[in-house]
Amino acid sequence: MSAPRIIFAGTPVFALASLQALVEAGHTIVAVYTQPDRPAGRGRRLTSSPVKRYAEERGIEVLQPHTMKDAAVRAELEALRPDVMIVAAYGLLLPQAVLDVPTHGCLNVHASLLPRWRGAAPIQAAILAGDERTGISLMQMTAGLDCGAVFSAQELEIGSEESAGELHDRLAVLGGELLVRDLQAILDGDIVPVDQNDALSTYAAKIQKRDAELDWSMSAEELYRHIRAYNPVPGAFFFANGDVRVKVWEASVVADINAKAGTFTQYDSDGIVVACGAGGLSLTSLQVPGKRRAAVQEFVTQIELR
C-alpha cells in the first residue's frame, strides 16, 4: 500500500517515544490527538503535553478534544481519512464509533506482555508483583479494556534494582522500536493478530497516592518493590513523629533484623534501618516536604525521626 495516513493519539513522555520513532522513520502523521492542556507546577499554569509540544515543533496538526464521544469529534476524525490510528497512553476512552473510523482500526502500544497487566499502571504493577520480565504489546483496540488481539510483542528483563521510572524509559523506547518494525507488516496483513487468553489476564489499576504509603508490617522484600514501583510518582512514603511525611527514594533490604515492625533499629550517619514484618529496610535516600532529596548521611543531621 502507499504511505499510510497515520493519526497518533497520546499524551505523556511514554507516548512521545512512539511518535518520535514514527516521524524519524519517515511516516506521515496526519494529525495528533492529545489531552487538553492541564494546570501544572506551583503556579498552576496551563501546560501542554510532551506529545503536543513535539507535534507543534514539527508542524503537525494538534487536536485536543475533552472527550472522544461527541459526534463532531468523530466527524472531524473521518475528515482526516486515516488509514490507522496509533494510540499510546492517550488517556481518553475511544468509543466503538471512533475505533471504526480508520481503515485498519486503532493500534495500541501497551507496556506489558498482554494479557498480563491490562489497565492504567502496568509498569508499576509488574514491579510490585515481583515479575522478572515485562515488555511491549501491539494490540488491536476494541471497546474492552486492553483485551484486543495482539499483533506482536517484545519482552525485556526487569532489573532487580530498577525503578518504575527507569523501566518506563526503556519500555517507551522499546515501544517505538517495535511499532516501527511491525507497523507496515500489520497494515499489509502479513502479521495475524492472536486473541488474548482472558483466563490469564491480570489488572493494573490506576495508582492513587495512598497506595504508595509504606506498611511496615509487610516484608522488607515487598516494601522494597513498593519503593521501586512508586519511584518517581507518586513516591513511596511513611509518616514519622506523627505527621512528618517522609518520602523514600531509595532503599535496600537488610535480612537479619528482628524487631517490632516500624522500629528504627539504626538512625545515624552510617544509615537508617527500619524493621519490617520480615527483615528490615536500609533507607538511603529520603525527602521531607520543603526540603530537597538527601542521602542518609545528610538527612540524619537535619531531621530527627525517632
Look at the pTM and tell me if it is higher than 0.75. yes
Class of the 5-204 domain?
Answer: alpha beta
Could you tell me which residues come within 8 angstroms of residue 199 by beta carbon, excluding any fewer than 6 positions away? none
Give the separation between CA 90 and CA 75, rounded to whole angstroms: 19
So what's the pLDDT on residue 1?
59
What are the structural domain ranges in the chain?
5-204, 209-302
CA distances from 57 to 52, 107, 135, 147, 259 (A): 9, 24, 30, 34, 57
For the stretch 86-137, pLDDT in tens is 999 999 999 999 999 999 999 999 999 999 999 999 999 999 999 999 999 9
* Beta strands in the chain, from DSSP E residues, in sequence order: 5-10, 28-33, 38-40, 45-47, 61-63, 84-88, 106-110, 118-119, 133-140, 150-157, 203-204, 236-240, 244-254, 264-268, 271-275, 280-287, 294-295
* Cβ pair 147, 115 in contact under 8 A: yes
So what's the pLDDT on residue 304?
87
So what's the pLDDT on residue 185?
97
For the stretch 209-221, pLDDT in tens is 999 999 999 999 9
- Taking the CB of residue 51, how many other CB atoms lie within 10 A of it? 29
User: How big, in percent rounded to 5, are the helix, strand and coil portions of the chain?
Assistant: 30, 30, 40
* Cβ pair 80, 31 in contact under 8 A: yes
CATH for 209-302?
3.10.25.10
Residue 76 grid coordinates: 472531524
So what's the pLDDT on residue 116?
98
Give the separation between CA 271 and CA 253, rounded to whole angstroms: 12
Nearest to 88 by CA among 149, 202, 172, 196: 172
- The ranges of the chain with pLDDT < 70 are 1, 306
Q: What is the edge-to-edge ordering of all strands in the sheet holding 61-63?
A: 61-63, 28-33, 5-10, 84-88, 106-110, 133-140, 150-157
Three-class SS of 151-194: EEEEEEECCCCCCHHHHHHHHHHHHHHHHHHHHHHHHCCCCCCE
